Amino acid sequence: MHTDSLTCRLRNCLVTILELEVELEQTRLGPALHNEFAVLKEVVTRIEKVRVEEQDVCRIEVATGRFLAELKDTLDSVTPTMCAGQGRLLQ
């Protein structure tokens, strides 16, 4: 059961990033990130086969938080209404 919890936490991080694909495609980074999103989508489909440890998931959660914080200003300038009013983590 503990492994299921870790997998769920990892999936949440990856899906959170994938949910930003549309907004990120509208930035100057969009073309460069296209392949990265394709890889990330593939990882999500195979996540149950990945063995993760608590410390790995914690590091990924921290990295996801930092990534979101770094993107906040960029995404707010591209799509302020999409990021500011829909209960997203970027608020």
Q: What percent of the chain has pLDDT over 70?
A: 82
Residue 6 maps to a domain:
yes
26 within domain boundaries: yes
Q: How many Cα atoms occupy the beta-carbon half-sphere of 79 within 13 Å?
A: 16
Is residue 90, in this structure, part of any structural domain at all? no
Owning domain of residue 67: 2-84
Please name the amino acid found at residue 6: L
pLDDT in tens, 18-50: 999 998 888 888 888 889 999 999 999 999 888
Distance CA 20, CA 18 (A): 5
φ/ψ region of 27 (left if φ > 0, alpha if ψ in -120 to 50, else beta) reads beta
CA distance 15 to 36: 13
Domain count, the chain: 1
Cα gap 12→35, rounded to integer Å = 20
* Domain-located, residue 69: yes
